[in-house]
Copies of this chain bind each other. A is one copy, B any other.
Amino acid sequence: MSTWRVGWLIARKDLRIEWRSRVITNQVLPFAFVTMVIFGIALDANTDVLELVAPGLVWLATMFSLLLLVQRAFSVEADDGALDAMRVAGVDARGIFLGKAIGLVVQLLVLEVLLLCAAMVLYGETIRLDGVVLLVTTMVSATCGLAAVGTLYGGLAAGSKGRETLLPLLTLPAVAPVLIGATRAVESALGTGVAELSEGWQWVSLLTVFAVVFGVGGALAFGPLIDE
């Protein structure tokens, strides 16, 4: 059974479970939405500040949603010992990593598109046509990075008690670079502040490096991590 085929099987299963339970549309999305609104409240309706940090807030909301999604993706595996069963069955660990990460990427992308739409309305952003390519590239590479980190630490925390809280602790600092890079790149794409398009592409390369490092590192480390 090749790594790719295992990945495909697992991603399909995960997406099917998500499709059945509709957790994204019914719950994660409203949650991300509330998060953004709550930020608005906490920042005291200080419009100037908000506009400045809007791209940041979108990614922040994405990150909190990432935590929810990862937690769910792995509680599905740990609840009835399915992860153990995979290990016994000798399912290729890289395949598991790949499959879970693909499932997350798909879910996150859906979420980000919707959040970005919300942000455009809520925070009064507008998209320049020449920024669209940059925007899309940023989203894809940032999402891959987030999914890789999430899968890696999700697998590490899965099954250990108190995983609800271990996961954010591990994930949030690790994705901080993504938060910064993606925020800057989106700022360039949207033309918020003084950012230049070309500057945005530099950030994208950082994001890509991050995604590749965590993707490859995660795939290699996943086996030993979930084993034993």
Q: Tell me the A residues contacting B by CB distance below 8 Å.
A: 21, 23, 26-28, 30-31, 34-35, 37-39, 41-44, 46, 49, 52-53, 56-57, 59-60, 63-64, 68, 71-72, 75, 161-162, 164-166, 168-169, 172-173, 176, 179-180, 183
Contact = CB atoms under 8 A, between A and B. Distances in A.
A31 B38 CA distance: 18
B27 A165 contact: yes
A164 to B, nearest CB: 6
A42 B179 contact: yes
A39 B27 contact: no
Contacts of A59: 42
Residue from A31, A42, A179 whose CB has the most chain B CB atoms within 10 Å = A42
A153 B41 CA distance: 22
A172 B49 contact: no
The 4 A-B residue pairs whose C-beta atoms are closest, nearest first, are A27-B165, A42-B56, A42-B60, A34-B172
Given A42-B60, A60-B39, A31 B71 contact: no
A60 B37 CA distance: 12
Nearest to A166: B27
A27 B169 contact: yes
Nearest to A193: B44
A44 B184 CA distance: 10
B21 A161 contact: yes
